[in-house]
Amino acid sequence: MNSKLTKTQQKAICSQLGKVKLNLLYKASIHGFPGAAFHQYCDNKSPTVSVGYNNSGFVFGGYTSQPFSQSGQYVNDNQAFLFSFSGEKLNKYPVSNAPYAVKMVSTCGPYFGEALVLAYGNQPTLYSSPGNYYNFNAAELHGNDLTMTECEVYQVEETVELEKPWRVAIWESERKSELMESIRTYRPLNSSVTQARVLLIGPVGAGKSSFFNSINSIFRGHVTSQAISGSCSTSLTTQFRTYTVKAGREGKPLPLILCDTMGLEENVGAGLDIDDISNILKGHLPDRYQFNPSVPLQSEAHGFCKSPGLKDKIHCVTYVLDASKISIMSTKMEEKLKTIRRKVNLMEIPQLVLLTKVDEVCSLVREDIRNVYRSSYIRDVVQEAGTRVGVPLSCIIPVKNYSQELELETGIDILLLSAAVQMLRFVDNFFDELGDQLSSVTNVK
């Protein structure tokens, strides 16, 4: 059987479920639309993803972690959700009444809580009723077209992990101490600069502010939250902030400044303006500059630094991307990131990628962060991120920020500190290149 779901659509669904793949169990055009045919191939299989297709070209369906049966009863499932596609974007509608998430009806196809039924009453038609079980907009889900052209059911299967790590890492507490010390004792190669300035750029909610909070937590010795962070559809960061990491509660500032920006958004006039990025890179923006997405910074603005020194400029750019959203990254966002990369390349500033929330996309990593480099799924996500952003795999570092934890964990710390050390190495590359340029000019004279 050939899957009607595209590879991109399959990746988008799998990104919500972890380190998994989809195995096609049932296809109505081959096995038939009647409920008996569906139950013959799908009963006692779990978890599953059910997908409907209609005459209007809509692709939609639902996920349940519970096995199908013909009991006639409702089944509780707080993990269940409905979904639809808008182009490449996955729209997700979580269950709102978990005890009634799925109903087991012998004469119907997949039956999601009196809200959506694929192949209703042995017929190739939908039943759709948003409300008490799942909240969704019917026009957005299926365009109000209740005529089915196809129904597929996939079993969700965990993928096999690599036995041999695809990247070497040392997880002992001594390694954490070494990484912390290398950051404390770092000195930029240019004597006129005392602190390396690293710019964090990424979509809304990717974890830029959380990365600073996490690094700061390690050096404070406990989880802290200085920079505003959280989940929101629009950027919680509205100012340009320069955060200095300190060695302890009353410790000295470390030689690393993390510059936080407003999140990138797809639409024009929303999120961080690309023209503002040039000003940030050149060192023109003052700390706490208030972003205006519709109007880039003007040289007449209050606080504009007209003659920035080398210490004010950005020495390394780090893109912060959500691992669970790489496969469903929109074309607009991909193009925006590549436009920024071109600007940064012209200024010869080294660039890294932080891949955050890796624990949310792989169950093995969720169980133990030290499995991150043994996960074939994480390796695949890293490879896809490299392709979409246009950077080599050696420039992509998977991390987990502190979000729900109350205490520090050595494995999480080592990943985060390794990322910070790599940033400082790239800062060295920046100053090396700058030194070579000055030597060339001196030799010409």
Structural domains in the chain plus CATH codes = 7-158 (no CATH), 173-444 (3.40.50.300)
> Given this model, what pLDDT does residue 271 score?
60
Predicted confidence at residue 233, as pLDDT, reads 44
What distance in Å separates the CA atoms of residue 434 and residue 445, rounded to the nearest whole number?
A: 17
Residues of the chain with pLDDT under 70: 160-163, 227-238, 267-271, 291-303, 436, 438-445
Per-residue pLDDT tens for 335-378? 889 889 999 999 999 999 999 999 988 878 888 999 999 988 89
Locate 342 and state its tokens: 């071109």
pLDDT of amino acid 234: 47
Pairing of strands 196-201, 253-260: parallel
pLDDT in tens, 40-79: 999 999 999 999 999 999 999 999 999 999 999 999 999 9
pLDDT of residue 132: 84
What 3-state DSSP class applies to 185? coil
Structure confidence at residue 162 (pLDDT): 64
Distances (CA, A) of 146 to 54, 90, 125, 153: 7, 20, 6, 18
Question: pLDDT value at position 298?
Answer: 65
- What is d(CA 340, CA 278) in angstroms, rounded to the nearest whole number? 9
Res 269: pLDDT: 59
Span 153-170, pLDDT tens digits: 999 988 766 668 999 999
pLDDT number for residue 251: 79
